[in-house]
Amino acid sequence: MYTTSYKLNVRSLNKRTSLDLIRFTPGGIARAEIARRLGLTRSAVTVIVKDLLENGLVREAENITLSGGGRPVALEIDPSRGYFAGVDIGVSHLGLLVTDFSSRVILDQELAFNLSVKPDQSLEFVHQSLVGILERSGLGFEDLHAVGIGVPGPVLEEAGAVSSPPIMPGWDLFPIRDTLEERWRLMVTLNNDAELGALGEWAFGAGRGCSHLVYIKVGSGVGAGILIDGVIYGGTLGLAGEIGHIPVREDGPGCACGNYGCLEALAGGKAIARQAREAVMKGRRTHLSRIVPPEAITAKDVVAAARLGDILAQEIVKEAGMYLGIVIANLVNLLNPSMVVVGGGVAQMGDLLLQPIRQAVQERSLKSAAKCTRITAAVLERRSTSLGAVVQAQNAVLDQIMEIA
């Protein structure tokens, strides 16, 4: 992921790293600061920046002059260089956004979605939805450099497909990336949604500048994106971070993966909805009993009821938070991250979910590790994954441009 396997010489590598500093420093960065941060001479940076200016990737910010000697001018990404789209494919939602070259969001949208229909039908819906949002942005496919896509399953990056995804039945090894590239005649990048969430929050959200970060996506399923030393940790095949299938309770309910008592089966959106339905059917007092039939109750309903003070809904959410906290406590002991960012649809309820997580982490991880780990909600909310998808798509495009240059 992020720092890709550069087939670049040292000069191109310095150029690429300088460009990333310009991309991810809020408010832009001056030449002298780039030189200082990368340990390069001023004249080397002058040459690099001249190249980037000539390439049209970077521009001098008009109204921002940074403090310090010699009236330094801030450099920023030239937003007019072209556009990107980011797509977050969820089990029950589809998030889309269009950004300019500086990753500024022009338009975004969230639609109800059903991932359990056949892949080609699902991808047709993704296509139509992207056509729609592009039209409303006054753009066409020819204006896009690339489209970044996130999916809720383990992604084999080389193949552009998912591998035995527990909550994406029927998608095993379906060529998602190639199908869309052929259709759109554009570069498409495909990654796991939680990994992209980590990347999005690191680039523009809660985890800015934080190089040891874990992003936990709590949607219908549960997954983690692990950033170690500023690089996404993918494991041997890129399948790392599947924390939803860490067993937490031996006598727990069956999970989509075939095991029992997995975190996802206790704390994922599907599990939250199932617990609410079962409680309503048992006659528990709750506002959720107004939803008929009880089978229609979704995790979104439980989140909304919990926010309004419904005791049953709050109990369910609190328990989910406790189980998430147990697994996060293990991650804190294992990885010693400086930040854990909790995002995804279920995490929209904020402190109701975060409080039991924090408590479990405090009780169950090493005091010294817990002390230096901040646990916080995703700043980009539902956009963490789709913005991360844009960052990843742009990485691929910039790699390509730099290799040619």
Binding site for Zn ion (CB under 5 A): 245, 255, 257, 259, 262
The dihedral sign for the CA sequence 348, 351, 355, 361: positive
Please state, in angstroms and rounded to a whole number, the distance separating the CA atoms of residues 150 and 194: 8
**Beta sheet of 222-228, edge-to-edge order:** 231-232, 222-228, 213-218, 339-343, 374-377
**Among residues 255 and 280, whose Cβ is nearest to Zn ion?**
255
**Residue 109 CB neighbour total at 10 angstroms:** 15
**Among residues 58 and 194, whose Cβ is nearest to Zn ion?**
194
Please state, in angstroms and rounded to a whole number, the distance separating the CA atoms of residues 129 and 89: 12
* Residue 246: CB minimum distance to Zn ion, A: 8
CA 221 distance to own-chain centroid:
14
* Residue 229: CB minimum distance to Zn ion, A: 29
**Among residues 83 and 171, whose Cβ is nearest to Zn ion?**
171
* Residue 152: CB minimum distance to Zn ion, A: 13
The dihedral sign for the CA sequence 371, 322, 328, 96: negative
Q: In 3D, which of 54, 46, 41, 48 has the Cα closest to residue 20? A: 48
**Which DSSP string do the residues of 101-153 spell out, in sequence order?**
TT--EEEEEEEE--TTS-HHHHHHHHHHHHHHHHHHTT--GGGEEEEEEEESS
**Among residues 96 and 243, whose Cβ is nearest to Zn ion?**
243
* Residue 333: CB minimum distance to Zn ion, A: 21
Contacts of 402 (CB under 8 A, 6+ apart): 8, 12, 15, 16, 19
**Among residues 31 and 245, whose Cβ is nearest to Zn ion?**
245
* Residue 240: CB minimum distance to Zn ion, A: 16
Question: What are the backbone dihedrals phi and psi of residue 207, each rounded to the nearest 5 degrees, phi first?
Answer: -100, 25
* Residue 359: CB minimum distance to Zn ion, A: 24
**Among residues 49 and 265, whose Cβ is nearest to Zn ion?**
265
* Residue 266: CB minimum distance to Zn ion, A: 10
**Among residues 38 and 257, whose Cβ is nearest to Zn ion?**
257
**Among residues 218 and 255, whose Cβ is nearest to Zn ion?**
255
* Residue 153: CB minimum distance to Zn ion, A: 12
Contact 220, 91 (CB under 8 A): yes
Two structure tokens written together for 139: 């753009």
* Residue 237: CB minimum distance to Zn ion, A: 18
Please state, in angstroms and rounded to a whole number, the distance separating the CA atoms of residues 89 and 127: 12
**Among residues 139 and 257, whose Cβ is nearest to Zn ion?**
257
**Among residues 75 and 91, whose Cβ is nearest to Zn ion?**
91
* Residue 261: CB minimum distance to Zn ion, A: 8
**Which DSSP string do the residues of 46-89 spell out, in sequence order?**
HHHHHHHHHTTSEEEEEEEE-SSTT-PEEEEE-GGG-EEEEEEE
**Among residues 258 and 309, whose Cβ is nearest to Zn ion?**
258
Point out which residues pair with 161 in neighbouring strands.
Answer: 156
Contact 77, 102 (CB under 8 A): yes
What spatial distance separates the first Cα and last Cα of the chain, rounded to whole Å?
22
**Beta sheet of 93-100, edge-to-edge order:** 105-112, 93-100, 83-89, 144-151, 187-192
* Residue 249: CB minimum distance to Zn ion, A: 12
